[in-house]
């Protein structure tokens, strides 16, 4: 379980506060959607829980352990996986190599298991022939599915997705959300999706709205 305690952040040292006194808990086997207007600070919040940035105040705990104690690199390596709106795949590799690279970096037990990765990619509609192509030759939807498989196979406790359907059509968006739901429910993982799309936000097990510097769960 990921717990955020008394988190506060503001622009500059004495600037306008982005949010104050945020206390949230993210449980296993659930999909959380965080919706908020542009500039509301939802992506900044994502950066804090993903270990990519530090809040100016407050603490974040994973299963009771402060993520600062775990160490940012170690936390990113073993505890959290991130899916970006721009897919952020390594452009000079195939889909297969992208996933294998992530497995190698995170020191996964499947780090050299090509078949394991090919099967997982096939499960989201990317067959071996496509999996071995350079990722830039794949469509946006395919690339996002590769990015999601990459996040899922590294065996992180938490998967954080930043506008994962932002560049996709409805059909692909639905498929991506379904993937996250299955992953959270079947593998008992926590999935946190940051979005501005209300349709996507509605599909979360827990919906969190960020407005007026407050996170309101429903």
Partner 1 sequence: MNYLKRSRLYLTHKKGQSLLMLLIMSAILVFVLSGIIIQNAAITATNNVTKSAGTTITVSANRDKMFSQMRSSSSKTKTLTTPTVANTKIAKAGNLSTVAYYNITNTASVNASSFDAVSTTTGTSSMGGGNMPGGGGGMSANSGDITVTGVSSTAHTATFTSNEAKLVSGRNIKASDANTKNVVIEKELATDNSVKVGDTITIKTTATSAKKLKLHVVGIYKAKTSSTGMPGNDPSNTIYTSYTLPASISGTAGKSSTVTYTLENSAKEKATTKQIKNIIASSAFSVSSDDASYQQLLQPMKNVQSFAKKIVWLVAIAGTIILGLIIILSVRTRQREIGVLVSLGESKLHIVGQLFTEMFMILIGAMVIATLLGGFVGNKVGNQLLSQQQTTSVSSTTTSGAPGGGAPSGNMPGGKTGGGMMTNQSNTSAANKKALKTLNTSITPSSVIKLGGMGLVIIALAVCVSAISILRLRPKDILIGE
What residues make contact with partner 1 under the rule CB under 8 A?
A: 38-39, 41-44, 46-47, 50, 52-53, 73-78, 82, 84, 88-93, 97, 101-102, 104-106, 111, 134, 154, 162
Of 169 and 197, CB closest to partner 1: 197
Give me the least distance between CB of 106 and partner 1, in Å please: 6
Give me the least distance between CB of 43 and partner 1, in Å please: 5
What proportions of the chain, in percent to the nearest 5, are helix, strand and coil? 40, 30, 35
Of 84 and 116, CB closest to partner 1: 84
Radius of gyration of the chain (CA): 17
Give me the least distance between CB of 50 and partner 1, in Å please: 7
CA 184 to CA 152: how far, in whole Å?
10
Of 3 and 101, CB closest to partner 1: 101
φ/ψ (deg, to 5) at 102? -65, -40
Give me the least distance between CB of 68 and partner 1, in Å please: 16
List residues bridging with 66 in a β-sheet. 61
Give me the least distance between CB of 40 and partner 1, in Å please: 8
Between the CA of residue 34 and those of 57, 111, 207, what are the distances in Å? 21, 32, 6
Hey, which bits of the chain come out as E strands? 2-10, 17-26, 30-36, 57-62, 65-66, 80-83, 158-162, 190-195, 206-211, 214-217
Of 160 and 168, CB closest to partner 1: 160
Of 109 and 171, CB closest to partner 1: 109
57-62 and 190-195: which strand pairing?
unpaired
Place of tokens 């999601």: 148
Of 56 and 134, CB closest to partner 1: 134
Instruction: Give residue 21's region: left, alpha or beta (phi > 0; psi -120 to 50).
Output: left
Give me the least distance between CB of 171 and partner 1, in Å please: 26
């Amino acid at each position: 379980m990921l717990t955020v305690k008394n988190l506060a952040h503001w622009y500059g040292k004495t600037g306008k506060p982005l949010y104050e006194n945020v206390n949230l808990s993210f449980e296993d086997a659930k999909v959380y959607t965080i919706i908020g207007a542009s500039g509301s600070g939802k992506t900044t919040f994502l950066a804090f829980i993903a270990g990519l940035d530090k809040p100016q105040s407050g603490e974040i705990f994973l299963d009771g352990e402060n993520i600062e104690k775990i160490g940012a690199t170690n936390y990113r390596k073993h505890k959290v996986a991130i899916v970006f709106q721009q897919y952020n795949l390594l452009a000079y590799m195939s889909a297969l190599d992208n996933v294998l690279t992530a497995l190698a970096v995170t020191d996964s037990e499947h780090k050299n298991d090509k078949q394991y990765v090919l099967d997982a990619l096939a499960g989201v509609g990317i067959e071996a022939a496509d999996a071995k192509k350079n990722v830039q030759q794949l469509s946006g939807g395919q690339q996002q599915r590769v990015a999601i498989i990459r996040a899922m196979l590294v065996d992180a406790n938490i998967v954080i997705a930043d506008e994962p359907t932002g560049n996709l059509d409805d059909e692909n968006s639905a498929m991506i959300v379904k993937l996250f739901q299955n992953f959270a429910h079947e593998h008992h993982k926590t999935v946190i999706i940051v979005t501005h799309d209300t349709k996507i936000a509605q599909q979360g097990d827990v919906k969190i709205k960020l407005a007026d510097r407050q996170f309101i769960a429903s």
